[in-house]
Amino acid sequence: MKKRGRIILHVDMNSFYASVEAAHDPSLKGKPLAIAGNPEERKGIVVTCSYEARSFGVKTTMPLWEAKKLCPSLIVQRPNFDRYREASKAMFDILRSFTTLVEPVSIDEGYVDITELADHEPIELIQTIQDRILRELDLPCSIGVAPSKFLAKMASDMKKPMGITVLRKRDVPLIMWPLDVREMHGIGEKTAQKLYNIGVKTIGDLAQGEEIQLKALLGINGKRLKDRANGFDERKVDPESIYDFKSVGNSTTLPKDVSNQSELIAVLFKLSQKVSQRLKAKGMLCYSLSIMIRFKDRKTITRSCTLKSPINHEDDLLAAAKSLFLAHWDGSSIRLLGVTGQELVERKQAVKQLDLFSYEEDAKHEPVDKVLEEINKRYGSGKLNRGIEFKRETRFPAAETSFSKDFLKDHD
């Protein structure tokens, strides 16, 4: 009996935040709409925009003043994250009504394995899924159909909005290989430039590239990208993967009970630094932060706060952790402290309600952060820090433990 090939979908909501707002307020339908912070001051950054706005040249991350210059009739609204999370949950609930093999990867996209459902006419089933999301939630989506997660992701980007695109492995040389290598999922600007420098311009060039050369250039990622370019991807749709990166946390048990505030803040800094490094290594930011305090009598409390915008800088993490700590510490001796970033989001998908000042501040810090990360990576954490100074304190061991999992709560 011939082995049945996998049928995997990548469901990608179209202009999600703008579409949710238009579904909530039908008067916005068909109009150029942008979601941005500080719209009254014209200093926000465009988070996302409707396809009508895109037709004027408006793009994500564009300063609002520039977007309004391109499209004077642009309607601007602040993000409503509660509304978007509610819509996301409803969308995934619809997908799970067809099968349990649903893997959310962000607030507005996920994979679905329908191999066991599609005996005869899979396209009819896929059309039904797309139609239900549109009919019940008034939200458009594009769906990529392929035998692997990677190809399904590539396919879903090929026709927007409301597209259904099938990408078979045998179609890869004809459809995918002629594309510029930067259009391949998993390749950012920096990696693309490295590949350009060795003459790899298209996905086809990457597919036929020298494995040794690619490994020397990109490490183990070189072979993985070459495999993807050839259509190889054996990853399964894993509903449990939403628990993999729910949080990034570090805690440390102090070698002695401590009640000195400056020493405890110094420990919070070390923990925030560790969490920052791990978030950056994963390419993630966090929307909320929690601390754990275990007192001398072993009483343990955890306290959390929602952040105004997603963060991964150690300074920002420390500021939030310090504020929580000072609000909930009663002055008693402490034996354990922990800091955890929660509600994680990929950096490239993070929505930050920035005004022009904070945007410029972030950009200014980036080169410095890279230098600090490289030094700490090479010589050890804490050898050099940016703009934060503490009194000399007792050095505590960095016993690392993740102790909280609160990401994607709606999917629990």
Q: Is 109 a catalytic residue?
A: yes
Beta strand pairing status for 141-146 and 102-106?
Answer: unpaired
The terminus-to-terminus CA distance of the chain in angstroms comes to: 38
Judge whether 316 is annotated as a binding position.
Answer: no
Judge whether 315 is annotated as a binding position.
Answer: no
Question: Which residues are CB-contacts of 300 (< 8 A; sequence separation ≥ 6)?
Answer: 292, 293, 294, 336
Neighbours of 284 (CB within 10 A): 21
**Closest to 44 measured CA to CA, from 11, 15, 77, 86:** 77
- Dihedral sign computed on CA atoms, order 396, 401, 403, 409: positive
In the chain, the amino acid numbered 264 is L
- Alpha helices, H only, 121-210: 122-137, 149-156, 189-197, 203-207
Residue 106 near residue 348, CB atoms below 8 Å: no
Instruction: Give the angle 387-389-391 at the CA atoms, nearest 5°.
Output: 180
Given 21, 52, 103, 109, the catalytic residue: 109
The DSSP element (H or E) to which 294 belongs, if any, is strand 284-295
Residue 91 near residue 331, CB atoms below 8 Å: no
Alpha carbon distance 295, 302 (integer Å): 12
Residue 397 near residue 252, CB atoms below 8 Å: yes
Specify the DSSP class assigned to residue 405.
-
**Closest to 63 measured CA to CA, from 39, 44, 35, 48:** 44
Question: How would you label 342-364 residue by residue, b for 16+ Cβ within 10 Å and e otherwise?
Answer: bbbbeeeebbbbbbbebbeebee
List beta partners, residue 102.
Answer: 112
Q: Give the residue numbers of the binding site for Mg(2+).
A: 12, 108
Q: Give the residue numbers of the binding site.
A: 12, 108
Known catalytic residues are 109
